[in-house]
A and B are shown apart, each in its own frame.
Chain A
Amino acid sequence: MNPNQAPRTRIRLRYGKSGRIRFTSHRDVARIWERSLRRTGLPVAQTEGFSPRAKLHFGLALATGYESDAEYLDVDFKCGEMAVEEVLKSLVDVLPDGIEATGGAVLAPGAMSLQQAVTICDWDIELLDVAAGDLAQWVDQVLGAATLMVTRERKGQKITDDLAPQVRALEVGEPTSRGVRLLATLGTQPRAARPSELLAAQEPVHRPVLIRRTRQWIEQDGARLEPLMVGAAPVQHTLVGVQ
């Protein structure tokens, strides 16, 4: 049988990453998902070729060391129907501490990939080296700046970008037990702006102790959709144990 014609179900899963496991890389997390899905015994579709791998499609990479409430991946199953509840339930015991699947939805055929579809992310940034008042001033400066030039290195080349259009929202949040909190909404297209770049874009440069992605959004016709909410009907939407 031609594998292209085999029945397939694509499920989008949302998961969190927190605690010590935040120091694993995006690649490490991909391997953790491969092993965990194998342990569930669910019929995950495989790539063709000499070393077949599970067909997993990851969204935006999360930098090593960041936490998140809102990571996503799309998993292809080699069957016509697959219940989201069943997938979420079988993941409970196999995912390592710190990675928790918190929701899922069956995607309509032809749904845009995560990397293309997501346009903005919300970030929660904890800082210890600044007082709340000074941070508020810093926020005003960032929001007032006409341009925010940041330089990064890519393949040995220095590239300079203007971060200003990517800063969609910025405010000082409730203090944490040990420091202050900065809440930011940053654009992801054509290239995802990183919180570390934001912190370096305006003097004085702040050193974060913890950065957490709290939401990813797909902007559609002026509305903000959570990535589980997109796609044509029928879409199942299940949320379990969101913390």
Chain B
Amino acid sequence: MSLWPELELVLPEVSKPARYIGGEGGMATPEHHPSKVAWLLAYPDTYEIGLPNQGLQILYEILNERDDSVAERAYAPWVDMEAEMRAGGLPLFSVDTHRRAGDFDVLAFNLSAELVYTNLLNCIDLAGAPVRAEHRADDDLLIGAGGHCTYNPEPLADFVDFFVLGDGEEVVSEITEAVWDWKRSGKKSRQSVLRALAAIEGVYVPSLYDVAYDGPALVSITPRYADVPAVVEKRTVADLAAWPYPKQQLVPLTEVVHDRLNVEVFRGCTRGCRFCQAGMITRPVRERPAEQVRTMVADGLARSGYDEVALTSLSTADFSGIEEVVSATMDCGAGEVSVSLPSLRVDAFTVGLAAQIQRARRTGLTFAPEAGSWRMRQVINKLIDERDLYGAVESAFSQGWRRMKLYFLTGLPTETDVDTLAIGELARNCVELGRAHTKNPSVTVSLGGFVPKPFTPFQWFGQNTVSELQRKVFLLRDDIKRNRGVQMKWHDPKASLVEGIASRGDRRIGRVIEEVWRQGGTFQEWSEHFDYDRWTQAMAKHGLSVDWYVHRHRTEDEVLPWDHISAGLHKDFLWQDWRDALNEVGLEDCRWTPCYDCGACTGYSIEHIVASAVPPAGGSQGTGQVPTGYQPPEEVSVQLSGIGARSST
């Protein structure tokens, strides 16, 4: 059953062979049985990027806890391993028991970035299933996908049998039951299982919908049968406290990104940054009870042996009672525990947590103002006051940091060169603040090209062209060059363009993805493998206009490719927010102010679960999430000494 004897002979020939061995702490030892539905949960990128994915780990645990299902994991093999596998006739395999993908019933992908779409096709092909859903036989693998990218599933509609929208904790069991009915019947009818899946709330089966076009314009996406929903609603777990997962976070044997204990403290964000898809589609805010966070941290540290904990969410400083949770965390474990707070808001850094920081791990510190001018920040609703940013930077320098990173987006709606140059001004001011504390302060500006995303107020905005983004990048680079303390890094505008094609593309983009994959275009999110020309040539070959898909402003009455998908948000709310953006009007956080009925709670009869009735100290608004670009931003890492720490004398 296991492919290990064959893999063992191949692994000495490939780079980083530990990517393929599994054996993590917390790994399940699933017992396959004909009466159980077998899931292969796949992440279409390398092991070190995919292993930490919390969504995948949560489903892995839930499925292995059930009596009627088992789950294992697979990751995209790197190009050298793929070559060995294809040469040796080895299929995609699980890392847990090294079972071939074809021995499973479902191959389900987590999709968190558009540039991995060609890897998804490659994994399906390596698994031995036909890449196009229409070519699959009745008993072929069922191909599923979940994750943030599935809010516009259309570019992958030809390849994926079913998509899952929203939180997976509950729906994964309902899907298992539908798949079991199919398996029990000897997998006789694929149509019947697809119809059963489409009946589950939160599940979208693209092959059951007809798409109509009028020239380049999309006219409609309509269900073929009366029992298939016209609009597929996302799933939302009402209370995070009911799902304390992962209980056994996987502890890898080899180095991965985010290699530490990760505890999700809340889901959802209502700061309302207009560029941020993650914030919009995960509403409302559902906090985990502080007591449960403490237990998960303490248990997790004890069983993993990690000395670092990340309290994760889209904006962790907004968690009610964050300071208490951080101080409880530093009391955990035998020695010193460092706490990472991804997406730390600048105001909270000065007023809130700074007081607790005694011994900082002086590596990197990252703030995300996102835009250089106050006007621009009003447009994107990232209402960070410059004084708050300077205050945070000042206290960081005064506590001994010498370097920090500032994240910005360029190519935002209404952006002018004045806004772009304001980024340089901010960075220079930060360096100046640093000079009072250190001889060589250094500020790195990290600039990403803005890619409009579905279910945000900016979904109607025409993305900047590659040359326009490049011009802005160089404008800022030349402006910054004169200052010794300011460095600059930027995301490749060409990669932003390809991301833009997939982000708001319709079903026709599937041909382009397939074309690029057939030409060997995998690992497109890795700069050494990214091939811009392949994408633009594939667009041209299939008669599709980059300009029409990426750079064109959409109109209010246009049918969008994701109109038959619902994240709860009312389209007229998003449109109003888009008009407000153009008028530079901000919108408050509904967590602490009255509801403006965006639809995320009202539509599903759920509510925010937030322990604190007032916003955290600091007052101004802002989240630290950069939705574009491939590399996750480096995080604020704050080390706190535990009980019995070294004395300083």
Contact = CB atoms under 8 A, between A and B. Distances in A.
A48 to B, nearest CB: 8
A232 interface: no
Nearest to A65: B12
Contacts of B639: 50-51
B305 A96 contact: no
A47 to B, nearest CB: 11
A202 B363 CA distance: 49
Interface string A25-41: 10110011011111101
Contacts of B23: 20-21, 96-98
Contacts of A32: 253
Interface string B1-35: 00010001101100001101111010000000000
A52 B336 contact: yes
A20 B305 contact: no
B333 A23 contact: no
B253 A96 contact: yes
Given A32-B253, A50-B639, A23 B305 contact: no
Contacts of A50: 359-362, 639
A96 B362 CA distance: 32
B484 interface: no
A78 to B, nearest CB: 10
B17 A23 contact: yes
A226 B255 CA distance: 32
A35 B304 contact: yes
Nearest to B305: A35
A36 B335 CA distance: 14
A24 B305 contact: no
Contacts of A94: 305
Contact of A41 (B4, B18, B303, B334): B334
Interface residues of B, number: 35
A64 interface: yes
Interface centre among B8, B20, B254, B361 (most CB of A within 10 A): B254
B209 interface: no
B333 A38 contact: yes
B330 to A, nearest CB: 14
B302 interface: yes
Contacts of A36: 305
Contacts of B251: 35
Nearest to B645: A52
A46 interface: yes
A233 interface: no
A39 B26 CA distance: 14
Contacts of B17: 23, 64-65
B307 interface: yes
Nearest to A196: B12
Nearest to B7: A20
A27, A34, A39, most chain B CB atoms within 10 A: A39
Contacts of A98: 23
Contacts of A97: 23
Nearest to B637: A51
A20 B9 contact: no
Contacts of A83: none
A38 B11 contact: no
Interface string B337-360: 010000000000000000000011
B310 to A, nearest CB: 16
Interface residues of A, number: 30
B255 A28 contact: yes
Interface string A1-38: 10100000000000000001101110110011011111
A209 interface: yes
Given A23-B17, A51-B361, A96-B25, A39 B254 contact: no
Interface string A114-154: 00000000000000000000000000000000000000000
Contact of A34 (B254, B305, B333, B359): B305
Contact of B307 (A1, A27, A38): A38
Given A1-B647, A38-B334, A28 B18 contact: yes
B305 A39 contact: yes
Interface in A35-74: 35-39, 41, 46, 48, 50-52, 64-65
Contact of A25 (B254, B334, B360): B254
Nearest to B641: A52
B306 interface: yes
Nearest to A32: B253
Nearest to A211: B12
A188 B468 CA distance: 59
A21 B8 CA distance: 11
B263 to A, nearest CB: 17
A28 B305 contact: no
A97 B22 CA distance: 11
A50 B361 CA distance: 5
A20 B22 contact: yes
A59 to B, nearest CB: 20
B18 A25 contact: yes
Contact of B255 (A31, A38, A52, A96): A31
Given A1-B647, A39-B302, A28 B253 contact: yes
Contacts of B11: 23, 65
A3 B18 CA distance: 38
Contacts of A38: 305-307, 333-335
A67 to B, nearest CB: 11
Contacts of B334: 38, 41
Nearest to A99: B253
Interface in B245-278: 251, 253-255
Interface string B48-80: 000000000000000000000000000000000
A46 B336 CA distance: 10
A28 B22 CA distance: 13
A230 to B, nearest CB: 30
A86 B333 CA distance: 20
Given A23-B18, A28-B18, A50-B639, 5 more contacts: A3-B646, A23-B11, A37-B305, A41-B334, A52-B646
Interface of A: 1, 3, 20-21, 23-25, 27-28, 31-32, 34-39, 41, 46, 48, 50-52, 64-65, 94, 96-98, 209
26 contacts: A20-B22, A20-B23, A24-B18, A28-B255, A32-B253, A34-B305, A35-B304, A35-B305, A38-B305, A38-B334, A39-B302, A41-B334, A46-B335, A48-B646, A50-B360, A50-B362, A50-B639, A51-B361, A51-B639, A64-B17, A64-B18, A65-B11, A94-B305, A96-B23, A96-B253, A98-B23
